[in-house]
Amino acid sequence: MSFYEPKSSKTQSVLSTGHPRLPISTSNPSIMVEQITLYTAKVCPWAHRAEITLEEAQLPYKRFEVNLRDKPEWYAPKVNPASKVPAVAYGGPDVQADQPSPDSQKIAESGVLIEFFADLSKDVPLLPKDPVQRAKARFFIETVTPKLFGAYYSAIRSGADPAGFVEAVEVLQQLLPPTGYAVGNWSIADAAVTPFLARAELAFTNDLGTFEAGKGKVVWARLEQEPQYERFRKYLADVKGRKSFQKTWDPEHLKDFYQKVFAKENSA
């Protein structure tokens, strides 16, 4: 499930590039990275996972911003039949993003994509080499993601008490090692949860959502001030401090979007 951009009279699509397009190979000589075109949307936390991972991987890519309420007619038949983001066109000729080639491989779903990028990025490890640690990274994703997303989404869209997010943070904190990221070094486990943490902070501290006014600020004040959440605070500062996050995070765009969406819903 994802948010939608406000509908406009014309589909808004912004084409930009990630890292400069250069021939690239991984440390595995059998893997030669082909062209990558990412179809994404700033408002979507699931798509944000993929963008963060691509930036961490330092893989060259093209970026196409999809207006989720006014999608291009070609998007579903030529990129993702489910008509969702994120999705990738991989390989094939190097064409314009709004003219995807049938010769490229189309891959979708954020969980699939972040692992795919990790497989491509052998020079910049995005998953531990140790099988046990890799399993722990995947366990972290599978355990923490539904907790964070469920609490955040139910608060802003269904009016649930934002206090439920504190319980989700406690689950996250219990799985964190004493220092570092989810499994020590940064990995796709961190990319998987960072978008939800950032959006919850933005929504709760600005009272953006259908929850009772003021409750979001109270919840975030607890997380910022109470000593038992010190480990969470350090983790949040670490993931938000990554260049990959800062480059792909547009809080003003998201804040403006939330204000428009919730102004309509709260007045309905």
Question: Could you tell me if residue 1 is inside a domain?
Answer: no
| Residue 3 and residue 28 in contact, taking contact as beta carbons nearer than 8 Å | no
CA angle, corner 103, sides to 121 and 118, nearest 5? Answer: 15
| Residue 15 and residue 62 in contact, taking contact as beta carbons nearer than 8 Å | yes
Cβ of 155: how many Cβ atoms within 10 Å? 25
Question: Could you tell me if residue 25 is inside a domain?
Answer: yes
User: Of 101, 120, 139, which residue is a domain's last?
Assistant: 120
> For 90, phi and psi rounded to 5 degrees?
-115, 130
Question: Could you tell me if residue 125 is inside a domain?
Answer: no
Residues 258 and 144 placed together within one structural domain of the fold: yes
Condensed to tens digits (0 to 9), the pLDDT of residues 247-267 reads 999 999 999 999 999 886 665
Residues 144 and 261 placed together within one structural domain of the fold: yes
Query: Considering its fold, how many domains does the chain have in total?
Result: 2
Residues 105 and 139 placed together within one structural domain of the fold: no
Confidence of residue 24 (pLDDT cuts 50, 70, 90): very low
The token duo for 156 is 């802003």
Question: Could you tell me if residue 206 is inside a domain?
Answer: yes
Condensed to tens digits (0 to 9), the pLDDT of residues 170-202 reads 999 999 999 999 999 999 999 999 999 999 999
Residues 136 and 42 placed together within one structural domain of the fold: no
Q: Which of 99, 35, 106, 38 is nearest to 73 (CA)?
A: 99
For the chain, what is the mean pLDDT? 90
Question: Could you tell me if residue 167 is inside a domain?
Answer: yes
Residue 98, helix vs strand vs coil: coil
Residue 145 CA to residue 160 CA, distance in Å, equals: 18
Condensed to tens digits (0 to 9), the pLDDT of residues 119-136 reads 999 789 999 999 999 999
Residues 35 and 163 placed together within one structural domain of the fold: no
Residues 106 and 185 placed together within one structural domain of the fold: no
Residue 204 CA to residue 211 CA, distance in Å, equals: 9
User: 43-47, 115-119, 163-167, 264-268: which range is least confident on average?
Assistant: 264-268
Residues 193 and 228 placed together within one structural domain of the fold: yes
Residues 106 and 145 placed together within one structural domain of the fold: no
Question: Could you tell me if residue 3 is inside a domain?
Answer: no
Residue 160 CA to residue 151 CA, distance in Å, equals: 8
Residues 82 and 36 placed together within one structural domain of the fold: yes
Position 122 scores a pLDDT of 77
The gap from C-alpha 175 to its chain's centroid, in whole angstroms, comes to 20
Which residues contact residue 125 at a Cβ distance below 8 angstroms, ignoring those fewer than 6 apart? 185, 187
Looking at residue 90, the DSSP 8-state letter turns out to be: E
| Structural domain containing residue 69 | 15-120
CATH code for position 45: 3.40.30.10
Confidence of residue 60 (pLDDT cuts 50, 70, 90): very high
| Residue 56 and residue 49 in contact, taking contact as beta carbons nearer than 8 Å | no
